[in-house]
Amino acid sequence: MAHLCKRSITLHKINSVIEKIQVKKRETGIWTFPELIKPAKKQKMGILAKLFEPLQDGKNVGSIKILGCGKVGASKYSDCSLAEFVALLNIPKEERSADWDKTLLPFIRYLSENLVSQDITQETVEQAIKLLSINFSLPNPESIEAKNKELLAKVIKKVWQVDASHDQVDKIYSAIFSASKKANTSARKSWLEKSITRQDIILLVLQNLEYPYPTADQTHSLTLQDKLSGANIGDKHKYALTARTEAIGLRYEKEFASNVWEKFGVDIHLRWQNYQKQNPSKSGLVLWNDLLGILEATGNDWSKEHKDPRLGTRFAEGVFFDMADICTVDFKRGANE
């Protein structure tokens, strides 16, 4: 499909029938016939002439469309109103009559007189108008972008259980847009070549999420914060949140079902519970270091089982921090040991 830019024409072929689409936007002002007729700087043809050209060349054209956003008005230099012309084009084909053809005659004359210098004949104009549709009621690109960012924030919250800030959403959106733009450099590329993988998207999110604060309804994050801030290891809080976010992202990428994710948590819980029974007196930083050792061993087992090195230590830590309300760890005792 086409982007909402100043000059963007796509050509679709369906069973050898051509469909030409022009996508336009205006930063200021209103749409009038001159904007559609006059060529831009260093251009030989205007918008309508470019759209009518395949028909002029005798090609099989099924439809011609102009899409965009902005107000439609009349030109100071013409008696023809673009708004009236658009209204006529919006009349369904089955409702068009001889009166419709008669009402179009002034527009045909006007367009023919102005397009003849661009090598478009009156006969082509007459044929093209019957195939033409104009719709400038599309949302403004800025409003589309704002809506996309809103949806992106919702997806991040749903998948990663993180409340991303406005700045973070802006950065992530810009990164994804840039990656999409680089991937879609040619209309001749296959959709597989133009697409961005789930892994690429997750990487872009994690690279720009920076400090992933859990959502307000994630009550276990408070438990986690209490555990880390009570024994001179509060500086690990950011590390814990980041590891947790990365693990959730990997879960999403590999499409682990909830029962698989729960199994990871149970595995850690059982190992840690067994360790605490054997070492009831340990606390503080000693306990923290032993915990990391257990998570490293657990992650190594997972990476071998699933044949994916990414499911190693960091992933196991992330799973643990996501289930911190289940694993009761008392770091507060002996904080200065």
Same domain, 100 and 153: no
- Predicted pLDDT of residue 302: 94
Query: Of 110, 135, 160, which one is at a domain's C-terminal end?
Result: 135
Q: Domain boundary residue among 209, 233, 257?
A: 209
* Residue 211: partners with Cβ closer than 8 Å, 6 or more residues away: 238, 241, 242
Instruction: Examine the domain organization and report whether 157 and 127 are in the same domain.
Output: no
327 belongs to a structural domain? no
Is 269 part of a structural domain of the chain? yes
Is 20's pLDDT higher than 50? yes
- Asked whether 161 and 215 are in contact (CB, 8 A), the reply is yes
Q: Would you state the structure tokens that stand for residue 111, as one six-digit string?
A: 């367009």
Residue 62 and residue 14: Cα distance in Å, rounded? 9
Shared-domain flag, residues 56 and 26: yes
pLDDT reported for residue 62: 87
Question: In terms of pLDDT, which residue wins out, 218 or 53?
Answer: 53
The answer to whether residues 208 and 172 touch, using CB atoms and an 8 Å cutoff, is: yes
29 and 126 housed in the same domain: yes
User: pLDDT digits over 167-203, tens only?
Assistant: 889 999 999 888 888 877 665 666 666 678 888 888 8
Cα separation of 33 and 8, whole Å? 18
Q: Which domain holds residue 199?
A: 141-209
Same domain assignment for residues 84 and 12: yes
| Per-residue pLDDT at 215 exceeds 80 | no
For residues 159 and 60, state if they share a domain: no
Domain termination site, one of 70, 101, 135: 135
CA distance 35 to 24: 11
Could you tell me which residues come within 8 angstroms of residue 135 by beta carbon, excluding any fewer than 6 positions away?
A: 65, 66, 67, 68, 86
Burial of 57 (0-12, 13-18, 19+ CB in 10 A): exposed
Residue 175 sits in the same domain as residue 81? no
Nearest partner of 157 among 198, 213, 221, 197, judged by Cα: 213
pLDDT tens figures, 307-332: 999 999 999 988 888 775 444 444 44
- 333 found inside a domain: no
Calculate the CA dihedral of residues 110, 116, 119, 125 and round it to 10 degrees: 30
Tokens representing 23 are 């996508």
Establish if 2 belongs to a structural domain.
no
Those residues whose C-beta lies under 8 Å from the C-beta of residue 184, and which sit 6 or more positions away, are 194
> For residue range 23-39, what is the model confidence (pLDDT) as tens digits?
766 655 678 888 889 99
Q: For the chain, what is the domain count?
A: 3
Same domain, 158 and 232: no
Average pLDDT over the chain reads 78
pTM of the model: 0.49
Same domain? 69 vs 33: yes
Calpha distance 52→111 (Å, rounded): 11
Q: Is residue 328 part of a domain?
A: no
The answer to whether residue 271 sits within a structural domain is: yes
d(CA 205, CA 125): 49
Q: Helix, strand or coil for residue 212?
A: coil
